[in-house]
């Protein structure tokens, strides 16, 4: 039951996201970016773990551009087997298409291991109890199992926030959810 419910939510959000118009999306991403830049956790940190947004996910590019300008270390995930590792990038040119068409760091990027870095977490849907519904691969849940100390900052558009989403015992919650 929960699995089909999860898939229904995934389908609904993906359809909703693909219907977004570009200027609306850009406005929302600006709002998210501004709110992230105000966070104490982000300002204090030297290194920030972030995902490279694509396919109408809540956008991270504007945010990462600001971090680059501030001279901060920005690291993005690369999938290896069932796990994710984080690599430092200095811009879009450091990325190439990897697993499932996701943009990943190129082979010559430096692998980093900062277990305290605040982390911008993607997701399909979130709820008021800070549960997260991802894409179903379990990569982030496994990562947080291994490295529990990251401050988990989810970003999402308002329509991705539900009263309740189904959560399994192995699903990891986020610490905060930032919307436009």
Which segments are annotated as binding site for ATP?
Answer: 6-10, 132-140
Q: What is the DSSP letter of 108?
A: T
Q: Which residues contact 20 (CB under 8 A, 6 or more apart)?
A: 56, 157
Three-state DSSP state, 44:
helix
Q: Does an H or E element contain 121, and which?
A: strand 119-121
Place of tokens 């990891």: 172
Short-list 137, 130, 117, 108, CA closest to 179? 130
Question: Would you list which residues are annotated within the binding site?
Answer: 6-10, 57, 132-140
d(CA 157, CA 99): 25
Which two tokens mark 173? 């919650």
Place of tokens 């920030």: 48
């Amino acid at each position: 039951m929960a699995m089909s419910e999860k898939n229904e939510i995934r389908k609904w959000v993906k359809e909703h996201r693909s219907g977004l118009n570009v200027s609306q999306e850009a406005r929302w991403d600006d709002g998210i970016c501004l709110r992230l830049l105000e966070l104490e956790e982000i300002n204090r940190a030297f290194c920030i773990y972030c995902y490279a947004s694509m396919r109408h996910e809540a956008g991270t590019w504007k945010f990462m551009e600001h971090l680059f300008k501030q001279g901060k270390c920005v690291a993005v995930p690369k999938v290896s087997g069932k796990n994710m590792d984080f690599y430092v990038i200095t811009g879009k040119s450091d990325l190439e298409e990897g697993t499932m068409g996701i943009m990943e760091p190129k082979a010559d990027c430096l692998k980093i291991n900062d277990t305290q870095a605040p982390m911008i977490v993607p997701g399909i849907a979130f709820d008021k109890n800070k549960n997260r519904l991802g894409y179903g691969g379990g990569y982030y849940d496994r990562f947080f199992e291994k490295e529990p100390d990251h401050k988990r900052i989810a970003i999402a558009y308002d329509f991705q926030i539900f009263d309740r989403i189904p959560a399994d015992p192995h699903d990891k919650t986020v610490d905060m959810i930032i919307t436009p």
